[in-house]
Structures are given as C-alpha cells and as structure tokens.
Chains A and B, each alone.
Chain A
C-alpha cells in the first residue's frame, strides 16, 4: 500500500511541470465553481452579514418553508419549466429544418450569406435585444402599436404591463436569437456526412426527400440528442438576460415572466432577502444536477456512445 502511493507521488513529481501548467485553471475553478458549491448550505442558515457566514444561525428548513409558503415558488418553477420546454422543442425543430434548407443551397456565396445572417443575432448581447424589443413594443411609440395595431383600428397595448402576451413574445425573441446557432451546428454535422451514402442512395433511385429522411436525419440524430440532453440538464436554469432585458425588468408582468433566475437575482440584489435567494438557488442547483444525471443515465441505457459521460 505504502509503496504504491509512494510511487504515485513519484510519478506526479515527475510530471510536476504539467501540474504547474494546470494549476491556474484549477485555482480559478476552485474560486468560481467549488467555493460557491460549499456555500450551498447557506440555504439552511439565516444569513447575517455582520455575524458572517460561519456565525449565522442554523435555521433548518425555514427558508424553504418560507419560499413555498408564498405562491412564488410554484409560479417561478412553472414558468421556468414551461419556457425552457417550449424553447427546446421549437428551437430544435426549426433549427433542424433550417439546417436541412441551408444544406440544399448550392451556391457558395448564397450559402455563406444565409449562414452569416441567421447566426448574427446569436452574437449580439441581450442588452441590444432589449433595445430591439423596446423598439417594437414601446407603448407610445413602438412599431407594433403605431404601425400595426393603429392602422387596423385596434387600441394600442401597454405591452410592458400586460402579462398575457409575454409567453409568445419571449418565445419569439428566444427563437430569433438562438435558432441560427443551433442550425449551423446541425449543418456542420450534415456536411460531415460521408457523400457515399448519398451516391449509393441516388443510384437506388432515392428522391431528395427520401435522402433527407432516411440518411441525413438519422445520421445527425446523435448530435440532436446531445444538444437536447444539454438543454434538458439546464431546464431549471433560465436565460437570465432574456427574462431581464427583454422585459425591461418590468414588475407588472411577473406572473408570466418571472423565472427562478430573475427571482433569485431580485431576492438577492433588490429586496436583499438572502433566505429566499439561497433556498431558491439551492433548489435550482440540486434539481438541475439530478436532471443531468438522470437524463444521462437514460440515454446511456439505450445508446451508450451518445451519453455525455
């Protein structure tokens, strides 16, 4: 035993230069990821800044009781799940379709042009997205109210105060921003398919449609599964930028736009309620982790090489 561990240390010592190279990254991950993980027990404490983290009182499940006693918990969980689920479904279907279409473009210049334009929204910040949404929805001057509703004699709407429209608005904005990126990832997978499959299929008289459904889609299925897996693992994490910037953090539409991330942010930075922030945050981390592990196990069951780990 002793000599075994001894030789292990010896081998590590032999590669100490590699340890040094890896060290900055290890330290940064310690600060960024691991220290916060240990902070998760704050959910069971009544955090008191003057007493410090260690000096604060243990209060058991009180923070969680408080969180679930309000209706907020169910609302933000419902919103987070429903938004992410619809984003996932709509985005995947549209992105695969878009990738298939892009793959049909034979002209090199046109293909490049389409790829650039559809992916452009992915590279601008959510802040700019907030400006764009505001340009369309500003209650007094917005394009929708002034140039679409008014000419049809429909009363202008106060978009930032009416909760019922936001599920559609946010879904649209999310699709606009994200679909190009996913499509290009799928396109890259399609381009990587061996052309012999298609040549053989053409000899057998397969139509373009047949080639698409029998060759292309089955062959890119692994990538679709991995992207979906990643998304399901993050289904409890909302895109904070989208829900904060696009809604201009309007409090009046919370019912349909509040998600776990915006709730935690508000509890922490605006109302200063660390108890709610930590319990909702912990809920998110634990459920998220469980989801990734479960989904990954499920995928491993029927197709081992497609699992993440």
Chain B
C-alpha cells in the first residue's frame, strides 16, 4: 500500500501558487485601510506603517451612490438569473425530447450563435435603434439572458439524467408538456440549475461592459461600472468623496484609500460566499468540460 502522504515539494509549489493568487487582494485591502498621509509619503504597501479606517467612514457617511449602485447590480442580477434560468431550461427541455420534430433545426440554430457574431456595432444598433433600451435596466438584463453553451449543458443534463420513461409515464397519466416541465424536470435538475445559476450570477454581478456601452444616466450605474469610473476618472472619485468631505473638518480627503475601499466593498460579498459556492463551481466546470 502506498503511503497517503503528499510529496512536500508539491505542497510547497502549490502553496506558492495559492499565495500568488491571494496576495494581490491583500495589497488592495491594505491600501484601503492605510493612512492617507502615510501612503502619499511612502506609496502602496503590503503593510502600511499607519492604519486608518477613514476611507470606510467616508464611504458610509455618503453611501448614497454606492448603495444605489449596489441596488442596481443586485436587481439586475436577481431578475437576470431567474429569467435566464427559466428561458434556458425551457429551451433545453424542448431540445432534450427525442420526439420533438424541430430538435435538429433548433440545435443548428443554437450552434450558429456560438460560431458567428455580428460584432459590436450591429449589436449596439439593435439595442439602441431597434429595441430602444439604452439607459434602462433592460439593456443590462437582456444581453445575458441566454447563451448557447448553457442551453447545451442543460440539454445534456436532461437527456442523461432524466429517464425518458419518467416523462412517458407522466404523460400517460395525462400531464401536458408544461406540467411535465414544471413538476418533473425542474425539481430533478437542481444540480444543473445551481451550477448554471451561479455562473450567470457571477457574470451579471461582474458585468460592466453593457453599462459602459448603454448607460449614461448616473442613477443606473451598476456597482462595477461605478468602480470603473472611479478607477479611471480622478474627478469622478472626487465627487464621491466631496459630500462627506464638506461635512467633516479634515484637511486631506483620503482619495487613494477611498478608491481601494470601494474595490473592497465590491469584492467583499463574493469572497464571503465563495467558499460555500466553490463546490458547485467545480461541479459546473466538470459539466462544462463534457462535450454537449
């Protein structure tokens, strides 16, 4: 019997790998809790000589913009994920039925979307000149609702793990397709729904590109887009700090730490829930790795 011990060299290499993945977050965190004067004098560091929570205080005193952006991101994500799961699974269910005469045509229809795209300009024109959804939450929700790859992953799951006899017997008992879909397919497909749901959640939550392209109205800025603005535009950062600044009698606004504190506030929820979601992600990757 081989010993159940891992080679220490492998452990060391992997530890270094893990460290390399974690340490950049640590830098951002340390800047966010560093004293502004110390940072201006010494630069961003992994262990600032002087700590201060003023940045977070500023953000909480004038939380309006950030809270609003959180709200936009949260509602877009929630609506997007729920609708997307419904649309994707309904289409996948139709595709999974061997008797469905349009099965081949629909598969081809999906395949084409995975191979060819019109590009940014025509896509932009469809949304702005045809659907007229620019500067609405719809512009942030619609683009992520369906993806060919997700449909195929779900279809594969339905065909492989739901016995056709189950569907047959329910239909002999008089259940229609809708009934079968809602009361047999959906309850049995929790694993794949969780996986695809999590992937969709992450992509909605992390999306900033659709805001960059379609959103002008400050009230509809998503969290990630607000962060983009804050990173690239120093005067925008100033406006976030301004209101709180006028109410306190401090000399310097901790712009550098505010910037990084905002990033931390955006990372926060993800890192907190990540350990719980990790097993689903890994499972999902396994599903995704299997050819559809």
Q: Do A and B bind each other?
A: yes
Name the interface residues of B179-225: CB closer than 8 Å to any CB of A.
181, 202, 205-209, 212-213, 224
Task: Please determine whether B181 and A21 come into contact, CB atoms closer than 8 angstroms.
Answer: yes
Task: Please determine whether B119 and A264 come into contact, CB atoms closer than 8 angstroms.
Answer: yes
Smallest beta-carbon distance B156→chain A, Å = 14
Name the interface residues of B210-245: CB closer than 8 Å to any CB of A.
212-213, 224, 227-228, 231-232
Name the interface residues of A257-305: CB closer than 8 Å to any CB of B.
261, 264-265, 268-269, 274, 277-278, 281-282, 284-285, 288-289, 292-293
- A22-B95, A131-B231 in contact; A35/B18 too (CB < 8 A)? no
Residues of B within 8 A of A252 (CB): none
Interface code A213-240, partner B: CB below 8 Å = 1, 0 otherwise? Answer: 0000000000100100000010000001
The A-B contact count (CB < 8 A) is: 286
Interface majority SS (helix, strand, loop, mixed), chain B = helix
Smallest beta-carbon distance B197→chain A, Å = 14
A5 vs B122: C-alpha distance when bound (angstroms): 35
- A15-B99, A24-B87, A176-B20 in contact; A105/B231 too (CB < 8 A)? no
Interface majority SS (helix, strand, loop, mixed), chain A = helix
Name the interface residues of B50-89: CB closer than 8 Å to any CB of A.
86-88
Task: Please determine whether B126 and A25 come into contact, CB atoms closer than 8 angstroms.
Answer: no
A292 vs B112: C-alpha distance when bound (angstroms): 11
Task: Please determine whether A37 and B120 come into contact, CB atoms closer than 8 angstroms.
Answer: no
A36 vs B126: C-alpha distance when bound (angstroms): 7
Interface code B142-166, partner A: CB below 8 Å = 1, 0 otherwise? Answer: 1101101001000000000000000
Residues of B within 8 A of A8 (CB): 101
Closest to B103 in A: A18
Residues of A within 8 A of B93 (CB): 18, 21
10 additional A-B pairs beyond A101-B13, A284-B119, beta carbons within 8 Å, are A24-B90, A32-B123, A32-B145, A36-B125, A106-B4, A132-B24, A185-B289, A189-B289, A241-B208, A278-B121
Interface residues of B (CB under 8 A from A): 2, 4-7, 10-11, 13-15, 17-18, 20-22, 24-25, 27-28, 31, 39-40, 42-46, 86-88, 90-91, 93-95, 97, 99-102, 106, 109-113, 115-126, 129-131, 142-143, 145-146, 148, 151, 176-178, 181, 202, 205-209, 212-213, 224, 227-228, 231-232, 256, 259-260, 263, 266-267, 270-271, 274-275, 278, 281-282, 285-286, 288-289, 291
